[in-house]
Chains A and B, each alone.
Chain A
Amino acid sequence: MSALLPVADGRTTWAAARRLLRPHRGRLALVAGLLLLAAAAGLAVPALLGVLVQTATTGGSLAVVGACVAGIVAAALAAAALGALGQTQMARVTESALAALREDVVDRVLHLPAGQVEAAGEGDVVARVSGDVETVGEAATGVLPAVTAALFSVVVALAGLGALDWRFAVGALAALPLQLWSLHRFRRRTPPVYAEARRAEGDRAQAVLQAVHGAPTVLALRDADAHLDAVAATSRTAIAAEMRGATLVGRFANGANLAEALGLGGVLVAGYLLVASDTAGVGAATAAALVFHRLFGPMGVLLFQADDLALAGAGLARLVGVAEGSPARPAPPGRGTGVPAITLRDAAFAYRPDLPVLDGVTLDVAPGERVALVGTSGAGKSTLARLVAGTLQPTAGRVDVGDVPAHAVHRTRPGRVVLVDQDVHTFTGPLAADLRLAAPDADDATLAAALDAVGATWWADLPGGLAEPLGPEGTTLRADQAQQLALARVLLADPPVVLLDEATADLPRSQQAALDTALDALLAGRTAVVVAHRLDQAVRCDRVVVLESGRVVEQGAPADLLAADGPFRTLWSAWRGAGGGDEGVTPPTSPRRSAAPLR
């Protein structure tokens, strides 16, 4: 939780935004031109109304009135069409830039080092790729066009007022000080209130989420009232914060409205003075009043929605922080050459210097060899597997796959070393799409064959077969089915090195025989390291390595270790002695190649 992912500072964010928009420079100029013309055409409406008033007061002809009206209609139509063209072009630019950014962010995030994601917490990462992307996206589609159009309207209208007579513009600017002061006060007071509201809403969402996801457990614990009260309490806090926010918005609106009154009063006073001194006609005074009245809408948009843009800016900074702050995307996977060996030389790893997880491990796994890692929880088995996978880097010593450091293999040749652990995530969407993450070009027959090979024959019974959607809107796989799916992915990815970290823990014992066959199919011809709690799996490997407190304490062929009176023998007795009475597994005299263990 301590080391959140980077957030870009203002300058970096601007630079990134400019870089994203650079390919669209031509189109942006076009957008600016179109919106400027649209605002100018829009201004022609009140100006012509002024001319009409002037004509009417000075007793002009109906023909002039008709011409003015024709001009008004033409100007309104032109303003509408130009505005639509400008907005469409702008959407093209902003949406393209946004799509490029979000794709970049997801790409970078998916390639982030595992350690960094764990340190940041998955919540932060998810917030970036979903919440922030949506906030920025909504701002780009909803707020940005409105604010841009409003900005053009206000600027052009002020220029127009000035063109009528500079004193109209001065009158209108009477609104500005109060507007700026209100905005400033609002900006200063809202962040803590909004932050508190967001925090309270987050707490409430979390309380609701836990109650809903954990409902069966809540009932089993007979704790429903406490959970309901917790949701209610967080909700009351959130409501209080939201009401404080509404009060601030109300005060801000008060300031903004009174500023409008001041500006309108200023324009009317200017009109009176100019008409009274015969400097301007009634038509000009009327036009000025109408121009200013038309500005109420755009000014409101600018004042109120600028805040949404600021919020989106914060989201943008968080997105840019990920996109800019991470290492470049690795080269596309190349096919390895042959089946490599794994070499560890005095490899050590520690999250904290005083608590080594692995402490000087030296180990050689020959090409095509299958090695079992056993030991109690916390012995360092999973850490060793992740060092070989390259998702962690050793703090001392070397871990090589072939002749290359494992983390370099992971970065430059993803897919050459495949690690499957207890994390049995299935990806929402069609079953085939999940499998194609491992083999993008595989046809349906290949996918089906891979599922069959790992014993996942249940796929044929799904209502949609390979097209069956997985997840809440289709089939939710059981844990053991999800593990089979994970094994099928490995078969499809076809890596020369496979690391299985408790990848079969959820499969019921009754499926053991089928599983052994599946594992033989999966691991044949690959260099493999298998972390196993179930020792009957370990004895099917070529070699067993016993880890204890981060060190290798014993290794050798399973039969030899069983014959010797060492740590493995102790583990085996504990495991088998407990289960042996009921359905023990007799160790095979020769591993793997012998018949299936007796039951």
Chain B
Amino acid sequence: MSETRHDASGYRAEAIRSKGYLAWVMSSPAAPPEPPSPGRMLLRTLTAPGQRLPVALGTLGLCGHQVAEMLVPVVIGAAVDDAVVGRDPRALVGWLGVLAALFVALTLCWRGGLIGTTRAYLRAEHTLRQQVVARVLDDRGGPGRPPGATLSLATSDAVRVAGTTWLLAGQVAAVAAVTTAAVSLLTISVPLAAALAVAMPLAVLVMHRLAAPLERRSDREQAQAADAAALATDLVGGMRVLQGLGASTAGADRYRRTSRALLAARVGAARARAWYLAGSEAASGVLVGAVALAAGWMTLRGSLTVGQLVTVVGLVQTVQTPLTQTGQLMVGLAQKRASAARLHDALAAPRVLPAAVAAAPTGATTLTARVGDDLVLRVARGEVVGLHADTPGAGDLVDVLGARTAADPGAVLLDDVCASTLGPALRTAVHAPPRDAHLFAGPLAEVVAPAGSVDADLLRAAVLDDVVTLLPEGTGSAVAAGGSNLSGGQQDRVRLARALHRDEPFLVLHEPAAAVDSVTEVALAAGLRARPDKGVLVVTDSPALLAACDRVVRR
């Protein structure tokens, strides 16, 4: 009697509090902020607060490095002219000093560029990864993608988008290098510089054309390598099945076929790469030859010094790498945009649940739910109700009670509060973990009671006590991710123990004993009453569990 009154007053208090909650919901930005568009996402890796300084440092550093690299042939040419041809020891010492200073600048710039860009890149990647994980763990439901796809968002796509920092710094540095080379050439010979200004971009354009199929080929090759790795992982994952079946050799043969296809693809790609490289080197050789012919002729005529000839040839050789890079901006951006678009789609995916417009009555005394079309079940606190798993709609109900799918108006009531107004807040009143709920890695005690301390009575109720005594370190023993170091029956019992430790007033268990033996099942059935303060709903087809319930609802 007194308990009822307590519950009623509790409910009133909740109702008053819920007004405040409602006001908070209305005033605060309830809808999570829209994720940035793909273009803005790329831009933010460069301009977000905290990014600007490392990005600027990185870009400046890499620019300085490239400019210095371009000046090396200039200094070599000058040293040849003044010191070697002029046989002047003072000039030699002077130019060696310049060379030393140049290299110190070159290497310090590179270090600064590396540190700045790496920091910006790692931070951007971190932010994106956190956004993806936060979206997956959004209390109104994740982006609705299979785990594999989500993982690739949090890893490959985040890495690619964050790589915008490297792309920007590298591109700006390449432009700086080309500019330096152009200015150096202009000071030596205007006609030569003009001719190269036409010839070199043409050569780069041709090389890009040649490289496009090469990139597609190498993408295919990487995809095939990933397939082979995935197949190997899959076969190892199913090793027990293969060995039990005596099919290890058949499995290995299947891998061999994939491996042979990969071999052919790799050799083909290597040949294409080698000949592309050869084409590039040949073009470079022809260009160097043409420059040498022109510069040699000009040197013979006396309009170019020997050192200048050395500088020109050196520049032509050195500038090709940054020149090739400058063309890669658009390709790189397109790739990153595709990744950003994928991230955007996942982050902007509609939520499964509506936002809460009422607070869950955590003092509620009854849970009423419609099962399928024509059944209504009612669970009061203090009773254990069974729902036969064959009842149409039973599985769907568990997902609604766990707030994994939205509740239809009127389908689920907590006292007289409709669950469709609660959104994710339903979970504060009802604990309905998914069947085969994940076991997180950690000591058993932490897995079973993440927040509080382990209750020995509840371990006994879940028939976990005999497992604990067998474990080397008792409740301190490590549980591997996914419970992979426990048998199926042990996993079930850990899950049940964890559920029994929860504080929500209602508990929904879906096939809690699917993998335990019949004797343990009977012991476990008795344990369902270990929390008389709760209303417990058991969805199962196990006769032993159903027999232990106060009432059984079935079709």
Q: Is the CB of B297 within 8 A of A376?
A: no
Q: Does A553 belong to the interface (CB within 8 Å)?
A: no
The 8 closest A-B pairs by CB, nearest first: A76-B285, A579-B543, A415-B246, A214-B438, A414-B246, A91-B270, A578-B544, A84-B278
Q: Is the CB of B427 within 8 A of A575?
A: no
Q: Is the CB of A493 within 8 A of B427?
A: no
7 contacts between A and B (CB under 8 A): A57-B299, A84-B274, A213-B147, A221-B450, A222-B427, A253-B110, A330-B249
B132 to chain A, nearest CB (A): 8
Query: A76 vs B402: C-alpha distance in the bound complex, in angstroms?
Result: 70
* A253-B107 contact, Cβ under 8 Å, with A231-B130, A269-B92, A286-B306: yes
Residues of A within 8 A of B248 (CB): 107, 110-111, 414
* A59-B300 contact, Cβ under 8 Å, with A222-B427, A584-B543: yes
Q: Does A294 belong to the interface (CB within 8 Å)?
A: yes
Q: Is the CB of B245 within 8 A of A258?
A: no
Q: How many chain B residues touch A (Cβ–Cβ < 8 Å)?
A: 159
Q: Does A332 belong to the interface (CB within 8 Å)?
A: yes
Q: Is the CB of B250 within 8 A of A247?
A: no
Q: Does A303 belong to the interface (CB within 8 Å)?
A: no
Q: Does B83 belong to the interface (CB within 8 Å)?
A: yes
Q: Does B326 belong to the interface (CB within 8 Å)?
A: no
The listed residue (A208, A289, A423) touching B310 by CB distance below 8 A is A289
Residues of A within 8 A of B434 (CB): 216-217, 220
The listed residue (A75, A81, A126, A276) touching B237 by CB distance below 8 A is A126
* A217-B433 contact, Cβ under 8 Å, with A575-B519, A581-B547: yes
Q: Does B431 belong to the interface (CB within 8 Å)?
A: yes
Beta-carbon contacts under 8 Å, B272-301 to A: 273-275, 277-279, 281-282, 284-286, 288-290, 292-293, 296-297, 299-300
Residues of B within 8 A of A73 (CB): 285-286, 289
B433 to chain A, nearest CB (A): 4
Query: A460 vs B129: C-alpha distance in the bound complex, in angstroms?
Result: 41
Q: Is the CB of B245 within 8 A of A391?
A: no
Query: A269 vs B80: C-alpha distance in the bound complex, in angstroms?
Result: 10
Query: A420 vs B243: C-alpha distance in the bound complex, in angstroms?
Result: 10
The listed residue (B79, B123, B440) touching A239 by CB distance below 8 A is B123
Query: A289 vs B279: C-alpha distance in the bound complex, in angstroms?
Result: 26
Residues of B within 8 A of A377 (CB): 487, 489, 516-517, 519-520
B227 to chain A, nearest CB (A): 10
Contact with A along B241-275 (1 / 0, CB 8 A): 11111111111111110011011001101110111
Q: Does A437 belong to the interface (CB within 8 Å)?
A: yes
Q: Does B390 belong to the interface (CB within 8 Å)?
A: yes
The listed residue (A134, A214, A235) touching B129 by CB distance below 8 A is A235
Q: Is the CB of B518 within 8 A of A574?
A: yes
Of B30-38, B133-141, B163-171, B174-182, which stretch is located at the interface? B133-141
The listed residue (B130, B136, B310, B487) touching A290 by CB distance below 8 A is B310
Q: Does A199 belong to the interface (CB within 8 Å)?
A: no
Q: Is the CB of B438 within 8 A of A495?
A: no
* A103-B252 contact, Cβ under 8 Å, with A65-B296, A268-B79: yes
Query: A490 vs B288: C-alpha distance in the bound complex, in angstroms?
Result: 69
A556 to chain B, nearest CB (A): 19
Q: Does A242 belong to the interface (CB within 8 Å)?
A: yes
The listed residue (B92, B221, B243) touching A391 by CB distance below 8 A is B243
Beta-carbon contacts under 8 Å, A212-263 to B: 212-224, 226-228, 231-232, 235-236, 239, 242-243, 246-247, 249-251, 253-254, 257-258, 260-261
Q: Does B106 belong to the interface (CB within 8 Å)?
A: yes
Query: A60 vs B306: C-alpha distance in the bound complex, in angstroms?
Result: 13
Query: A579 vs B519: C-alpha distance in the bound complex, in angstroms?
Result: 12
Residues of A within 8 A of B238 (CB): 423, 425-427
Residues of B within 8 A of A419 (CB): 243-245
Query: A261 vs B289: C-alpha distance in the bound complex, in angstroms?
Result: 27
Beta-carbon contacts under 8 Å, B490-536 to A: 498, 502, 514-522, 525
Residues of A within 8 A of B108 (CB): 254
Residues of A within 8 A of B221 (CB): 141
Query: A410 vs B487: C-alpha distance in the bound complex, in angstroms?
Result: 24
Q: Is the CB of A126 within 8 A of B233?
A: yes
B142 to chain A, nearest CB (A): 5
Residues of B within 8 A of A133 (CB): 228-229, 232
- SS of B interface (majority): helix
Contact with A along B224-237 (1 / 0, CB 8 A): 01001111111111
Q: Is the CB of A57 within 8 A of B306?
A: yes
Residue on B with the closest CB to A493? B245
Q: Knowing that A84-B277, A84-B278, A420-B241 are A-B contacts, what are 19 other residue pairs whose CB atoms are under 8 Å apart, sorted by A's residue number?
A: A79-B281, A85-B274, A95-B266, A107-B249, A129-B233, A215-B142, A220-B432, A243-B115, A268-B96, A269-B92, A275-B84, A330-B249, A414-B246, A437-B250, A493-B247, A505-B488, A575-B521, A579-B542, A579-B543
Of B148-156, B361-369, B407-415, which stretch is located at the interface? B148-156
Q: Is the CB of B114 within 8 A of A246?
A: yes
The listed residue (A80, A208, A226) touching B285 by CB distance below 8 A is A80
Query: A84 vs B466: C-alpha distance in the bound complex, in angstroms?
Result: 68
Of A19-27, A45-53, A155-163, which stretch is located at the interface? A45-53
* A224-B137 contact, Cβ under 8 Å, with A56-B306, A129-B236: yes
Q: Is the CB of B547 within 8 A of A53?
A: no
* A80-B404 contact, Cβ under 8 Å, with A53-B306, A72-B288, A251-B111: no
The listed residue (A65, A76, A579) touching B547 by CB distance below 8 A is A579
Q: Does B456 belong to the interface (CB within 8 Å)?
A: no
* A268-B137 contact, Cβ under 8 Å, with A145-B270, A250-B110: no
The listed residue (A235, A416, A427) touching B130 by CB distance below 8 A is A235
Q: Is the CB of A130 within 8 A of B229?
A: yes
Q: How many chain A residues touch B (Cβ–Cβ < 8 Å)?
A: 170
Contact with A along B8-51 (1 / 0, CB 8 A): 00000000000000000000000000000000000000000000
Q: Does B317 belong to the interface (CB within 8 Å)?
A: yes
Residues of A within 8 A of B269 (CB): 141
Query: A391 vs B299: C-alpha distance in the bound complex, in angstroms?
Result: 82
Residues of A within 8 A of B438 (CB): 210, 213-214, 216-218
Residues of A within 8 A of B231 (CB): 428-429
Q: Is the CB of A265 within 8 A of B547?
A: no
Q: Does B322 belong to the interface (CB within 8 Å)?
A: no
Q: Does B383 belong to the interface (CB within 8 Å)?
A: no
Contact with B along A144-181 (1 / 0, CB 8 A): 01000000000000000000000000000000000000
Residues of B within 8 A of A294 (CB): 317
* A60-B515 contact, Cβ under 8 Å, with A258-B107, A286-B80, A578-B547: no
Q: Is the CB of B244 within 8 A of A99?
A: no
The listed residue (B111, B263, B300, B546) touching A254 by CB distance below 8 A is B111
Q: Is the CB of A208 within 8 A of B133?
A: yes
Query: A581 vs B544: C-alpha distance in the bound complex, in angstroms?
Result: 9
The listed residue (A87, A440, A582) touching B270 by CB distance below 8 A is A87
Query: A295 vs B106: C-alpha distance in the bound complex, in angstroms?
Result: 17
Q: Is the CB of B236 within 8 A of A83?
A: no
Query: A251 vs B390: C-alpha distance in the bound complex, in angstroms?
Result: 67
Most buried by B among A88, A111, A579: A579
Residues of B within 8 A of A117 (CB): 239
The listed residue (B139, B230, B244, B521) touching A420 by CB distance below 8 A is B244
The listed residue (A56, A257, A416) touching B300 by CB distance below 8 A is A56
B398 to chain A, nearest CB (A): 11
Residues of B within 8 A of A427 (CB): 234-235, 238
Q: Is the CB of B481 within 8 A of A247?
A: no
Q: Does A535 belong to the interface (CB within 8 Å)?
A: yes
Q: Is the CB of A215 within 8 A of B137?
A: yes
Q: Does B309 belong to the interface (CB within 8 Å)?
A: yes
Residues of A within 8 A of B244 (CB): 389, 391, 418-421, 499
Q: Does A589 belong to the interface (CB within 8 Å)?
A: no
Residues of B within 8 A of A543 (CB): none
Residue on B with the closest CB to A420? B244
Q: Does B122 belong to the interface (CB within 8 Å)?
A: yes
* A265-B251 contact, Cβ under 8 Å, with A209-B151, A286-B306, A293-B73: no
